[in-house]
A and B are shown apart, each in its own frame.
Chain A
Amino acid sequence: MSEIRNETPLIEVRNLKEHFPIQVSGLKTKPLKAVDGVSFSIKRGETLGLVGESGCGKTTVGRTILNLYKPTSGEIIYDGKPIKTAADIKEFRKKATMVFQDPYSSLNPRMTVADIIGEPLDVHKLYKTKEERQARILELMDYVGLNSEHAARYAHEFSGGQRQRIGIARALAVNPEFIVCDEPVSALDVSIQAQVINMFQELQEKLGLTYLFIAHDLLVVRHISDRIAVMYLGKMVELADADEIYDHPMHPYSKSLLSSVPVPDPNIARANKRIILEGDIPSPLNAPSGCPFRTRCRYATDVCAQSMPEFKEVKPGHFCACHNLENVD
């Protein structure tokens, strides 16, 4: 965890919504609320971890922030300036990049490593001579621990871990400030995950990067994040410092998530009650009214079905959205 340099956020997201129109019958469409009113901010040099079950909208949040999907509504403010027009977006693309979850489908099988890493340089015309381009590509490969001899090879010749390094080098090419890391290690072997995570941290220190780090694995996020946000069904349910959320989770959903994390110490493990979530996550097409978690929540009351709990600051720096916090033990 690197030092957080100042208090004004590098990126701020206000009430972001992303609704995908889904065809239900004939020409009728229904909105699939993949992200439904999410707000948070990330300070320069900070890592915000984003966790939640698969399908809860993490990837969509990351992609919408980068304007890969046009937001249905809400504001994205980068470095104090809202990102709205095509010109804003073009400029924004040089500062914010993405590392994708799947190191296989995110690299074009017909391109060499050098061309993949050099693509952002080509698109933004960031070099004057071929030599300059080549030198920059080799420098990037060196950053991520790839051998310069690999430059002329095709991505399919590499292992998953090496492919993900190529993806990271591509994300670093434009010298970005902010990187959305969408489950960058979940497709990798456990033995390689730690290496790649450490590399993310080293790069952050060396280059002063800010991360939105999406993950599935709570141990991984805890290791790398300064703060952690928990999502459920397109909504943010809890947000706090990494240690705070691990030691004192408040929202019933966060509690159940954390109770399923394996703990190395058997005494602690025994002391921790395992809370097993019943039922499946509802489809975002037919989300429950009020609190999205109420169909699986042990503490649900009538009010939960009627209104969506407000996402409010419960303790300094600790946000949570639940009507019945005082009853949750």
Chain B
Amino acid sequence: MNLKKLSMHPDLDCFAPASEAEKEYMVQMRPSSTFFKDGVKRLMKNKIAVISFFVIVIITLCSIILPMFWPYKYDQMLGVRPGRPVNSSYNNLAPFEYGEKELERMAEGEKIFPHIFGTDAQGRDYFIRVVYGARISLAVGFFASLIVLVIGLTVGSISGYCGGKVDIVIMRIVDIIYSLPDMLMVILLSTVLKEVLAPLIAGTVLEKLGVNMISLFIVFGLLYWVSMSRQIRGQILSLREQEYVLAAQATGARGKWIIMKHLLPNCISVVVISTALQIPSAIFTESYLSFLGLGVNAPMPSLGSLASDALNGMNSYPYRLVIPAIVISLIVLSLNLFGDGLRDAFDPKLNG
């Protein structure tokens, strides 16, 4: 037997016809799995993306749920009680310190909910303000991205599908918007819109949201759709050249069928990924506008306006600047990492 190994003769057994089982093995295919399942599987393998996802979920859930049963309100000045002089012992409390009345009640054996991050200069519980600020920032990020998505998707798919002159005109407009210095434009537009919009929305529900917020959304709608629309257009342009679109035309399918069945389903991953990456950029923009005083209206906090307010007392209370800054970074970082993970998992260019 062992000698045979040295023999130069080919082993004839190797050339026996394949049995049915072997043939079956040869044609065996990958187990059935959809594009979506594959993507999720790849995403789950990416630890950083998974952790980021949980961070986002936890922050989002906290910012939604905590304000519901927290004993303090974001705009409640603890030292101010109707019919009594303002008690300034509540202002500028350090973390886990208590105001006068609270100390008295605790002496009587009552349990008082601690001010985890202390209070601000007006005696408002800082923790709930940060939580509320995160809620506002996330909401702004989400809705601004939604606006960007709707406009970008519509303009991009029209431009890509129609092609020709329509495409040229739209893309030149996109180029012009791209070439504007966007920070400057955002500030200018916010300032101008603030003046114009204020009388328009007076007395409506929108007023509560604040004229700054509305102008922020308009700015997003006007300026930030361009990169989304460019990506969608590129995607549609390349999909349009795919042979399966031609094959669908050869069967007699027309525009609507082709867009719904062939183009959009193949765009989904790009759409989801760029929306996911748009959210942190919107949050960031909102934060710095708030920081400049162009953000949310006064009692309402956002992470940016909290940081901006904290600047005044930076020497005495540095943590009031650090905390919102850390929360912004955490949100933006984990959204970005999660978006990158999504791209790696779902981008069709990477998985062939």
Answer yes or no: B34 CB below 8 A from chain A CBs: yes
A123-B257, A152-B32, A157-B29 known; A106 vs B251 contact (CB < 8 Å): no
- For the complex, give the distance between the alpha carbons of A152 and B29 in Å: 13
- For the complex, give the distance between the alpha carbons of A157 and B29 in Å: 6
B244/A106 in contact, CB under 8 A = yes
B252/A123 in contact, CB under 8 A = yes
Within 8 A of A (CB), among B243-272: 243-244, 246-253, 257, 261-262, 265-266
A124/B252 in contact, CB under 8 A = yes
- For the complex, give the distance between the alpha carbons of A173 and B252 in Å: 12
* Residues of A with C-beta under 8 A to B348: 109
Looking at chain B's contact residues, is the secondary structure mostly helix, strand, loop, or mixed? helix
- For the complex, give the distance between the alpha carbons of A183 and B233 in Å: 31
Task: Quote the shortest CB–CB distance from A106 to chain B (angstroms).
Answer: 4
Answer yes or no: B35 CB below 8 A from chain A CBs: yes
Answer yes or no: A53 CB below 8 A from chain B CBs: no
A110-B35, A157-B30 known; A123 vs B247 contact (CB < 8 Å): no
* Residues of A with C-beta under 8 A to B34: 154
Query: Pick the contact of A68 from B29, B250, B257 — CB < 8 Å?
Result: B250
Answer yes or no: A298 CB below 8 A from chain B CBs: no
* Residues of B with C-beta under 8 A to A124: 251-252
Answer yes or no: B154 CB below 8 A from chain A CBs: no
- For the complex, give the distance between the alpha carbons of A127 and B244 in Å: 23
Answer yes or no: A107 CB below 8 A from chain B CBs: yes
B250/A66 in contact, CB under 8 A = yes
* Residues of A with C-beta under 8 A to B251: 93, 97, 119-120, 123-124, 170, 173-174
Please, how many residues of chain B have a CB less than 8 angstroms from a CB on the other chain? 24
Answer yes or no: A25 CB below 8 A from chain B CBs: no
* Residues of B with C-beta under 8 A to A129: none
Answer yes or no: A213 CB below 8 A from chain B CBs: no
Answer yes or no: A233 CB below 8 A from chain B CBs: no
Task: Quote the shortest CB–CB distance from A26 to chain B (angstroms).
Answer: 12
B265/A110 in contact, CB under 8 A = yes
B242/A119 in contact, CB under 8 A = no
Answer yes or no: A94 CB below 8 A from chain B CBs: yes
A98-B247, A100-B247, A170-B247 known; A108 vs B266 contact (CB < 8 Å): yes
B243/A123 in contact, CB under 8 A = no
B250/A102 in contact, CB under 8 A = no
* Residues of B with C-beta under 8 A to A94: 252
Which chain A residue shows the least CB distance to B253?
A: A123
- For the complex, give the distance between the alpha carbons of A109 and B33 in Å: 12
Task: Quote the shortest CB–CB distance from B270 to chain A (angstroms).
Answer: 13
A105/B253 in contact, CB under 8 A = no
Please, how many residues of chain A have a CB less than 8 angstroms from a CB on the other chain? 32
Query: Pick the contact of B35 from A153, A154, A159 — CB < 8 Å?
Result: A154
Answer yes or no: A312 CB below 8 A from chain B CBs: no
* Residues of A with C-beta under 8 A to B262: 108
- For the complex, give the distance between the alpha carbons of A63 and B266 in Å: 24
A123-B257, A153-B32, A157-B30 known; A108 vs B244 contact (CB < 8 Å): yes
* Chain A 154-179: CB-based contact to B (< 8 A → 1; otherwise 0): 10011100000001001001100000
- For the complex, give the distance between the alpha carbons of A109 and B261 in Å: 11
Task: Quote the shortest CB–CB distance from A32 to chain B (angstroms).
Answer: 16
Query: Pick the contact of A119 from B29, B30, B246, B253 — CB < 8 Å?
Result: B253
B250/A109 in contact, CB under 8 A = no
Task: Quote the shortest CB–CB distance from B260 to chain A (angstroms).
Answer: 12
Task: Quote the shortest CB–CB distance from B28 to chain A (angstroms).
Answer: 10
A154-B35, A157-B32 known; A107 vs B244 contact (CB < 8 Å): yes
A105/B252 in contact, CB under 8 A = no
Task: Quote the shortest CB–CB distance from A327 to chain B (angstroms).
Answer: 43
A109/B266 in contact, CB under 8 A = yes
- For the complex, give the distance between the alpha carbons of A167 and B250 in Å: 12
* Residues of B with C-beta under 8 A to A158: 29
A100/B246 in contact, CB under 8 A = yes
Residue among A97, A110, A170 facing the most chain B CB atoms (10 A cut-off): A110
* Residues of A with C-beta under 8 A to B250: 66, 68, 93, 97-98
Q: What would be 6 A-B contacts, judged by CB atoms less than 8 Å apart?
A: A106-B247, A108-B261, A119-B251, A119-B261, A123-B257, A154-B33
A106-B244, A154-B33 known; 15 new pairs, CB 8 Å cut-off, are A93-B250, A108-B242, A108-B265, A119-B248, A119-B251, A119-B253, A123-B252, A124-B251, A153-B29, A153-B32, A154-B34, A154-B35, A157-B29, A158-B29, A159-B27
* B-to-A contact residues, CB < 8 Å: 27, 29-30, 32-35, 242-244, 246-253, 257, 261-262, 265-266, 348
Which 3 residue pairs are nearest across A and B when measured between Cβ atoms?
A93-B252, A120-B251, A106-B243
